[in-house]
Amino acid sequence: ASDVYKRQLDQSIVSPLSSAYVNTIPYSVRKSVSNHLEWMDTPSIIVNSALQMNLENTILASAKFMLNGLSFGFYDFDNNETKIDKKDFGSTLAKLNVPEGPFLMVPLLGPKTVRDFTGTVSDRQSLSNISSNSVNKLSLAEIPVNLVDKRSKLAKNIENIYESPDPYSKMKSYYIQNRRINVYGDTYFEDKNNKLD
């Protein structure tokens, strides 16, 4: 019943908002918003890259954060040339071999495993501990913007999931496979297949 409620919430509120966002806001403005939201997540990437002993990613993310800080992240001075891995506390827990746990559909945050949900909460708490009150308020205000922005980017995938005979299972499979590739790299499924052979 809760999954039906979340789907209704998405289709009646979030999806129309995201469609209006795409149809009324020029691409250049949407790109600036996306850049800014990514910039706001960069401190978490820096901290978790350091925790995972990934020195190169820590340095690159730090440099990109400082450079783009000149525009509060709205403009990417690097033109997306510096590729950084998006590390979060969920991926740090994965490196420590903490199990994924059950799959959840969290209101406003979307699909998560228990490990990733714990990581998201920890990342938010860490940001609030190292940031000023103004940055914390800005981050809180951006949660709905981030939701609409992400929903607009995933519109086709989400509609495809809703049209499947079992949307919950398809969403779970889609999320977990993409998350494992993000956490463990593209070789994750190759390694799993080799172990099965």
Q: Which amino acid is at 40?
A: M
pLDDT at 126: 63
Residue 196 has which token pair?
Answer: 């099965």
pLDDT at 191: 57
pLDDT at 75: 92
Q: What is the pTM of this model?
A: 0.71
pLDDT at 52: 93
Residue 85 has which token pair?
Answer: 């891995």
The residue among 100, 72, 97, 83 whose CA lies nearest residue 177 is 100
What are the pLDDT tens digits along the chain (197 aa)? 456 666 776 777 777 878 888 888 888 888 888 888 888 889 889 999 999 999 999 999 999 999 999 998 899 998 888 889 989 999 999 999 999 999 988 776 778 899 998 888 777 766 555 554 555 555 555 556 666 777 777 777 778 887 888 888 888 898 898 888 888 876 665 555 555 44
DSSP assignment of 87-145, as one string? --HHHHHHHTT-----EEEETTTEEEEHHHHHHHHHHHHHHHHHS-HHHHHHHHHHHHH
The helix (run of H) or strand (run of E) holding residue 164 is none
The Cα 58–Cα 37 span in angstroms is 19
